[in-house]
A and B are shown apart, each in its own frame.
Chain A
Amino acid sequence: MSEYRIQGATGDWEVVIGMEVHAQVISHAKLFSGASTEFGAEPNTQVSLVDAAMPGMLPVINEECVRQAVRTGLALNAEIHQWSRFDRKNYFYPDLPAGYQISQYAHPIVGEGWVEIELEGDVTKRVGIERLHLEQDAGKSMHDQHPDYTLVDLNRAGVALMEIVSKPDMRSPEEAGAFLRKLRTLLRYIGACDGNMEQGSMRADVNVSVRRPGEPFGTRCEIKNVNSMRFVMAAVEYEAQRQVDILEAGGVIDQETRLFDAGRMETRSMRSKEEAHDYRYFPDPDLLPLEFDDAFIEAARASLPEMPDDKRRRYVEDLGLPSYNASTLVMEREAAEYFEDLLARLAKATGKLEREVAARASNWILSDLFGHLNKAGRSIADSPVAPDAGAELLMLVIEGRISGRVAKDVFEEMFASGRRAIAIVEEKGLTQVSDEGALAEIVEKVLAANPAQVEQYRGGKTKVIGFFVGQVMKETRGQANPAVVNKLLKERLDG
C-alpha cells in the first residue's frame, strides 16, 4: 500500500479520492434513436427526430448499448442487474432538447465490482466499483462561434454513455492516475469505449477530500471534466493541498462542484451545494424496465477477450516474462495481440517452445519496435512491420543467420521500406559468417595487425578480447558470428 501523505504544519493528512468516469459507448447508433454516432461530422447532421425531441417522439433502447454495458460490468468483476430502469433527470438547457436526460438513477444496470490497479514496485491494489449506469449524453453548446448567440450542436445529444462510479478507495494522485489508466485499458480491451480523452469519449469527474489518517471521511469537492490522466493527478494534488491549507487555517471545506483549469493547473469553484439543481428524477414512462435473461449475460461474457490481468499473469507464469515486460505489453490490447501473434510464429519458425523465445520477442517489441513507433508517431496497429515480419527477423537471429547488430540495421530498413528481413539480408549479403575456416583467416589478420594488444592479453589483461572481436566484426561488416569469433580468438591467444 502506498503511504501518500500531505505534510501539513499541524501533521500529516491523507487524501481520499473517488471517481465518476463517463465513457462513450462504442455503437453505431445512439442510446435511444437510430442516429449515427460518428465523431467530427458537420454540426447537427447526426440528429434524429427523437434526438431533437420533436413532439410525439419516443425513445427506443439500443440493444447494442445494453450489451456493451453488460460486457463492461463483467470486465469490472461486477454484479449485473437483470432488472434495471431508466429515469428522467429534468433540467432546462438548450443542448438538452427534451428538457430531461434519460439516465439510470435508482436502478443501475451494473452494481458493485472492482478493478486491480498496478502501482510502483510491483504493488497491486483493488479499487471498488460502486455502480455503472447507462445514460444519454447532451449536445454541445458553443459560446465562441458568434458574437451575439450561443450555437448548439446536437450531434452528441443522445449518444450512449456509461457512468462508472468508483468507491472512495484511492489514496494518492498515483492511484487515481492508475485507476483511470486501468479503466481505459479495460474499456479498450473489450471494445466498449475507445478511451479517447481528447475527443471527450472518456471524461472523469474526481471527488477529493482529506482527513487525518484513521479518521472518518472529510467533506468532498467534486472536480468536473478532467480530461487527461496527467490532469487527474494534477487536480488531485492541487485540490488536496487546497483543502489542507483551509483546514489548517481553521476553516471548513464547503461541499461544492469545482472546475479544473488546465491552463493554471488549479481548481476553481463552479457551484455550491445550495446552488445544486433539483433534478426531479422519476421513472421514464416512455420506457419499460430493462430486463434480460442469463443467456444474454452469458453471450456477453463469451464475447469478452482475455482480460489484461489474466494475460499478465499468463505472460509471467507460463512464458516467464519479467513482470515489467508483461505489464507493459498488456496495457494495450493491440500490443498484446501483436506479441502473441509474433511469438506463435517465431516458435513455429524456430521449432522452439514459446517460453524459450518469449523474453527475446518481448524485449524486441518493447525496445526496438516501440522505440521506432514512438519516434514515427505511429501506433502498433499501423506498424509497418507486421508480426510475421518481426518473427522472421528474430528467427534469423536465433538461428544464427544474422548477428544481433546486423538485425538492428535490417529492422531499420524494414521499418522504413516495409520489406521483409530475408529479402534485405540476401540482397545485401548480410548473412552471418560462422564458417571457422573463413573466420580463422580474418582472426589471424587482426592479431597480426595488433601486436601490442596481443601482448596485453597475454600479460593477463584478457578483457582486450572485446577489442579483437570488434575488429573482426569491422572486417566482416558485422556478419561474423560472435560466438565463433570468440572461440577462435581464445584458441589462438590462449594456445
Chain B
Amino acid sequence: MAELHELDLAEARDLLRRRVISSRELAEALLTEIERAAPLNAFLTLDRERTLAMADAADAALAGGEHGPMTGLPVAIKDVFCTEGVRTTAGSRILENFIPPYESTVTANLWRAGAVMLGKTNMDEFAMGSSNENSAFGPVRGPWRNGKGEDLVPGGSSGGSAAAVAARLAPGATATDTGGSIRQPASFTGTVGMKPTYGRCSRYGMIAFASSLDQAGPITRTVRDAAIMLGAMAGHDEKDSTVVDRPVPDYEAALERGVKGLKVGVPKEYHSAKTPKEIEDLWLEAIEWLKAAGAEVVDITLPHTEAALPTYYIVAPAEASSNLARYDGVRYGLRVMPDEKASLTEMYEATRGAGFGREVKRRIMIGTYVLSAGYYDAYYLKAQKVRALIARDFAEAFETVDLILTPTAPSAAFALGAKPDPIAMYYNDVFTVPSSLAGLPAISVPAGTDGQGLPLGLQLIGRAFDEETVFAGARVLEEAAGFSAAPEPWWKKGS
C-alpha cells in the first residue's frame, strides 16, 4: 500500500469503506505533510481540531455502515469559498481577519457528502492572477523545480490548491476558474483540473471575481477523483439564480465510456508560433491516442479565438470593479482611518488603497474605465458582442464534434518573478479563456513533461452540461499518457 498521504481519493474511499484505514489516520497523515510543506505556502489557514473532529464524525458514520459519496475523504478548500467560523480571505489583505458566519453551497455540499476539510489554500488575491504571486500572504512556491533548481510558480489563481494536490498534501482540493484558474495551475503542477459548465456549481458563498465567468471545480490527481469530487460539489441551489436546476449525473459511471465513435475537433486557431514545440508535439501525440481509442479527429475552426483574451480582460475587470465595491471598510474587513478627522472619501481611499494589491487595483481601474460613460459602447458593449460570437463559434463546432482538444497553457510552469509584465502574464490564459467566455466545461489532464521534466497539460472542451463526455475523453488521455511523474519533495529536506 502506498503511504497514506499518497492515496488518491478513489483508493482512500475504498480503504475507508473496507475500514482498512480510518479518516482520522488519513487526516493526521496529511496534516503532518502540510506542516512539513510549510515552505510551499500552499495553505493560509489550518484548523487541526476541526479537521480531526470532522474525520472522527466520518469514522463514526463509517463504523455505523453509513457512507456518503466522500465520507472520510479529506480535501483542501481554496480560500475563496466562505467556510462558517473559519477565516476566509480570498488572498486579500482587506479580508485578512474575515470569519464568515455562513458556509458556501459548494463546501456545504462536500460536507454533506462526508468530506473532511483539511484547511484553506492560498490563491491569487480575489482569484486575479496566473501565478499565485498576487496573494497578499505571499506567493505559493510550486512543488516542481526546473533543471536550474529555481522556484517555479504553481500557476494561478488556484495555486495553493494545485500545489497541495501535486505535493501530496491533499488528495483533492476545490478551486475556481474564471479564465483558466483551475486548468492552468493543474497543467503547471501535473494534476487534473476540471472546470464544469457555468451554472453547474452554485456560486453562493464563493467570493466573486467576475460573476458571469466564475465557476467552481476540483483539482485532483486522477480523472476519476475529479469525477467523484465534482459530483459532490455540483447541484441546484435556490440561493444562486444562475445555477441550473438539472440532476447531477453519475460522472464516475461515465468514465469508462471511451471515445469510440466520437468526433474530436482540433481548432486551427490554437496553433501559435509562440507555443513551444514540446507542447505542439504533445498535442499531436494526443491526437494519435484518441484515434487509437476509436475517435475520429477533425480540424475545426473557431474564428474569433484571437479576440477572446482582450474580450476577457474587459468583461472580467468590468464585473470585478463592481463586485469589489463592497469592500469599503464600512461593515466588515479592513478599515483604515488616515486620521481621526478623516472624511468618508478619505476612509474609502485609505482602506481600499491599503487593502487591495497592485493587480486587483489595476483590474478595478480597467473595469471602471470600460464601464464609464463615453467608453461603455466601445469597450464593454463591444466585448459582450464578441463574447456572443465566441460562444457561437463553439456552438457551431459542437454541431459536428463532441469534444475539442487543445493545449491547456502556452508554457510549462515558469520561475517566480519571471513575468513582471501583466500583459505577458495575461497570455497564460490564451487557451483557457475562450471556453470560459462560452461557459463550457473543460478539463486539463497531465499528458507529459517538457525537456526539463516539468508537467504539461492538455485541455478537452465539451458541450454545455456534457461533463460526462469530457470525463470519458479525459480518462482516455490519462490512460494513454500514463503520466506518473511526481515532484521531488525538496521542501522536506532539512525538516
Question: Which residues of A approach B to under 8 Å, CB–CB?
Answer: 49, 52-61, 88, 90, 92, 94, 97-100, 150, 152, 278, 280-282, 285-288
Contact = CB atoms under 8 A, between A and B. Distances in A.
A54 B376 CA distance: 28
Contacts of B239: 58, 60
B241 A52 contact: no
B326 A55 contact: yes
A202 B241 CA distance: 29
A52 B326 CA distance: 9
Interface of B: 81-82, 88, 90, 95, 98, 100-102, 104, 203-208, 210-212, 238-242, 318-319, 321-322, 325-326, 328, 330-332, 344, 348, 368, 371-373, 376, 380
Contacts of B101: 49
Contacts of B212: 285
A97 B330 contact: yes
A200 to B, nearest CB: 22
A150 B342 CA distance: 13
A92 B210 contact: no
Nearest to B82: A56
Nearest to B374: A278
Contacts of A90: 321-322, 325, 371
A58 B325 contact: no
A53 to B, nearest CB: 4
Contact of B372 (A88, A278, A286, A287): A278
B100 A54 contact: yes
A98 B241 contact: no
A99 B331 contact: no
A61 B203 CA distance: 16
A288 B331 contact: no
A80 B101 CA distance: 40
B326 A282 contact: no
A88 B323 CA distance: 10
A287 B210 CA distance: 13
A58 B240 contact: yes
20 contacts: A55-B82, A55-B88, A55-B95, A55-B100, A56-B104, A57-B204, A57-B205, A59-B241, A88-B322, A92-B325, A100-B322, A280-B322, A280-B371, A280-B372, A281-B371, A282-B318, A282-B319, A285-B210, A286-B208, A288-B241
Contacts of B203: 56, 58
Contacts of A280: 321-322, 368, 371-373, 376
Nearest to A55: B207
B331 A53 contact: yes
Given A53-B326, A90-B325, 17 more contacts: A52-B331, A55-B82, A55-B88, A55-B208, A56-B206, A58-B240, A58-B241, A92-B328, A97-B330, A99-B322, A100-B325, A152-B330, A281-B371, A282-B322, A282-B371, A282-B380, A288-B241
A97 B371 CA distance: 20
A211 to B, nearest CB: 28
Nearest to B325: A99
Contacts of B344: 94, 150
Nearest to A288: B241
A281 B377 CA distance: 12
B330 A94 contact: yes
A98 B204 contact: no
A285 B331 contact: no
A97 B348 contact: no
Contacts of A287: 241-242
Contacts of B104: 56
A150 B330 CA distance: 11
A97 B104 CA distance: 20
Contacts of A288: 241-242
Contacts of B210: 285
Contacts of A61: 241
Given A90-B371, A282-B376, A285-B210, A60 B241 contact: yes
Contacts of B208: 55-56, 286
Contacts of A92: 325, 328, 348
B289 to A, nearest CB: 38
Q: What 7 pairs between A and B have smallest CB-CB spacing?
A: A99-B325, A285-B212, A285-B211, A280-B371, A53-B326, A56-B205, A55-B207
Contacts of A278: 372-373
B322 A286 contact: no
Contacts of A152: 330
Contacts of B90: 55
A286 B211 contact: yes
B330 A285 contact: no
